[in-house]
């Protein structure tokens, strides 16, 4: 139903997209969440910290290493790391959950510098 309501929206902004992504994640549909995230990129939407935090959760379920790396670079370029801690913690957590403990430690060490 959420997808249907979303499709009927006249304006699909980052808040609507992020809500849809979050709903998919909450219902165990991480692949659908990632597809929405890809569509957001394709449409050129400016993403925010909440969007990135949501998509990191989806990556934790799918183990999508390449996309995770790409998102990490995007977050750095957008200046979203080293701020509130929301994304910082989510990023370290996702790497750890995926079994990439060395990478989790590396990211943690980099974030200490911020």
User: Residue written as tokens 């670079």?
Assistant: 73
Q: Calculate what percentage of the chain has a pLDDT beyond 70.
A: 92
Domains plus CATH for the chain?
2-113 (1.25.40)
pLDDT of the residue at 53: 87
pLDDT of the residue at 109: 84
Judged on CB neighbours under 10 Å (0-12, 13-18, 19+), 110 is middle
Average pLDDT (60-71) is 74
pTM, two decimals, is: 0.78
| Tens digits of residue pLDDT in 32-52 | 999 999 999 898 898 888 899
In this predicted structure, the answer to whether residue 23 has a pLDDT above a threshold of 90 is yes
């Amino acid at each position: 139903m959420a997808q249907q309501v979303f499709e009927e929206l006249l304006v699909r902004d980052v808040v609507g997209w992020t809500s849809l992504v979050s709903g998919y994640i909450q219902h165990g549909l991480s692949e659908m969440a990632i597809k929405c995230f890809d569509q957001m990129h394709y449409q050129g939407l400016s993403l925010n910290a909440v969007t990135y935090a949501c998509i990191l959760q989806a990556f934790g379920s799918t183990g999508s290493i390449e996309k995770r790396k790409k998102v990490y670079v995007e977050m750095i370029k957008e200046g979203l790391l080293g701020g509130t801690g929301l994304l910082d913690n989510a990023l370290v957590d996702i790497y750890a959950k995926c079994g990439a403990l060395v990478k989790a430690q590396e990211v943690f060490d980099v974030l200490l510098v911020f």
